[in-house]
């Protein structure tokens, strides 16, 4: 059994298979720990799943920054806050992917998966059936089943799929780290500012001093905007609600751009001898851009489907249909509903303003909320221009 890609999807699938007593080879083109373009926001349910798989809670508690509230700023000057769901003694967290992914990868190895650094170039297909992968600078590696977890630019998905993902089911996003930005403790922010529409910006504190700051937009709409993500980030940081929060020594660094494939696109994720999980299968939420939890869920479901297929000695598409049924039951309503909710948000800033006004008044946080950011939490750096690379 081969799993290609050791991000959350691949490491979780390899863990489930290794814990089920299977011989599993996990391949990734890079060594770990490695960075990944991401907002770094890991929902509580993903952390809970991580602990269910046996990852040590002590390691998690040591370096994850808990977040308890989400603040949504509408295109006008209204904003409202919602509590983030906590459960099983866990909050959602912001954690650098360098740390999070390495923990899952270590756990897959600890559970018994073998790991090798190898860049997979394409699947090996014989008589319409995937029988292994072709690796750069090596010959083929053969296996009864290949699980493709090689992310949004998956070489395996590209070779197997008959169609390309339409731009309306994709997004592009940029993440940077910003030091010296005034933050509210344990609060994540999403900004639907007019300047960024039909996209949005986020500020997710990694700790009290540094934030993951980013912008993202659906790809078809981005192409029409005739701009770059870097320009959008600069516009975001210049907003009247953000610029005063940047201290004199503010610094923007580690800028990365990547793409996201929404799970709302209808296409098969299974072939004879192969299945696609995580971003390789396009399981990102079209509403939030979040994909870590869905990647982990598809890793678990694929692990179980693969074990059943191997036990039956049959890794054909008909046996792997169990995986399609399982992920659809678990994720489809949310993915499809999220697609339409996201279309509504990007097409109607006035409606978003209306909802925000209602909620903001209920919470007595009407009007620009910057004052609240300044009063109560992290010490305020003196205002000044941000230094940018």
Ligand X SMILES: Cc1cc2nc3c(=O)[nH]c(=O)nc-3n(C[C@H](O)[C@H](O)[C@H](O)COP(=O)(O)OP(=O)(O)OC[C@H]3O[C@@H](n4cnc5c(N)ncnc54)[C@H](O)[C@@H]3O)c2cc1C
Residue 205, phi then psi, degrees to nearest 5? -65, 130
Per the CB < 8 A criterion, the answer to whether 345 and 339 are in contact is no
SS3 213: strand
Shortest Å, Cβ 288 to ligand X: 8
Q: Give least dist CB 368 to ligand X, A.
A: 25
Q: Give the Å distances, CA to CA, from 201 to 225, 237, 274.
A: 16, 9, 36
Closest CA to 90 of 63, 70, 69, 60: 60
Please report how close the Cβ of residue 353 comes to ligand X at its closest, in angstroms: 25
Token reading at 317 = 């598409």
Nearer to ligand X, 41 or 79 (CB): 41
At closest approach, how far in Å is the CB of 152 from ligand X? 6
Smaller CB separation from ligand X, 212 or 353: 212
C-beta of 115 vs 258, nearer to ligand X = 258
Q: Toward ligand X, which CB reaches closer, 149 or 360?
A: 149
Residues making contact with ligand X (CB under 6 A): 4-10, 27-30, 36-41, 119-120, 149-151, 155, 173, 175, 214, 258, 260, 278-279, 284, 289-293, 295
* CB-CB contact of 295 with 9 (8 Å): yes
Find where tokens 């994709």 sit. Answer: 170
For ligand X, give the closer residue by CB, 73 or 155. Answer: 155
Work out how close the CB of 256 gets to ligand X at its nearest, in angstroms, rounded to a whole number: 7
CB of 380 to ligand X, least distance (A): 26
Could you tell me the end-to-end alpha-carbon distance of the chain, in angstroms, rounded to an integer?
45
> Interior CA angle at 163 toward 157 and 165, to 5°?
75
Nearer to ligand X, 39 or 349 (CB): 39
> Nearest Cα to 110, choosing from 170, 37, 53, 35?
53
Would you give the distance in Å from CA 35 to the centre of its chain?
Answer: 13
């Amino acid at each position: 059994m081969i799993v290609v890609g050791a991000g959350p999807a691949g490491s979780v699938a390899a863990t489930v298979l290794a814990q089920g007593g299977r011989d599993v080879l996990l391949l990734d083109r890079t060594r770990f720990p490695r960075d990944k373009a991401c907002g770094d926001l890991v929902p509580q349910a993903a952390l809970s799943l991580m602990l269910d798989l046996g990852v040590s809670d002590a390691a998690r508690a040591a370096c994850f920054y808990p977040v308890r509230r989400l603040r949504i700023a509408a295109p006008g000057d209204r904003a409202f806050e919602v509590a983030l769901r906590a459960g099983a003694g866990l909050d959602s967290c912001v954690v650098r992917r360098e740390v999070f992914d390495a923990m899952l990868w270590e756990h897959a190895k600890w559970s018994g998966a073998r790991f090798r650094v190898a860049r997979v170039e394409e699947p090996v297909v014989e008589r319409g059936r995937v029988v292994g992968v072709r690796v750069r600078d090596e010959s083929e590696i053969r296996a009864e089943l290949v699980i493709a977890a090689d992310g949004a630019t998956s070489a395996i998905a590209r070779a197997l799929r008959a169609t390309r993902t339409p731009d309306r089911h994709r997004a592009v996003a940029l993440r940077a780290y910003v030091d010296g930005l005034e933050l509210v403790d344990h609060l994540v922010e999403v900004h639907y500012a007019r300047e960024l529409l039909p996209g949005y910006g986020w500020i997710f504190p990694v700790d009290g001093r540094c934030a993951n700051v980013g912008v993202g937009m659906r790809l078809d709409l981005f192409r029409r905007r005739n701009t770059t993500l870097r320009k959008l980030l600069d516009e975001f940081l210049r907003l009247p609600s953000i610029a005063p929060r940047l201290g004199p020594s503010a610094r923007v660094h580690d800028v990365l751009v990547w793409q996201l494939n929404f799970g709302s696109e209808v296409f098969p994720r299974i072939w004879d001898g192969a299945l696609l999980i995580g971003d390789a299968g396009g399981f990102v939420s079209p509403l939030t851009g979040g994909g870590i939890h869905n990647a982990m869920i598809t890793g678990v479901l694929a692990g179980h489907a693969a074990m059943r297929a191997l036990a039956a000695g049959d890794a054909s598409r008909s046996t792997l249909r169990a995986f399609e049924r399982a992920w659809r039951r678990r994720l489809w309503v949310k993915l499809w509903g999220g697609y339409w909710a996201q279309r509504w948000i990007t097409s109607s800033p006035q409606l978003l303003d209306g909802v925000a006004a209602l909620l903001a008044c209920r919470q007595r946080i009407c009007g620009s909320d910057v004052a609240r950011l300044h009063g109560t939490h992290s010490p305020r750096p003196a205002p000044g221009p941000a230094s940018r690379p």
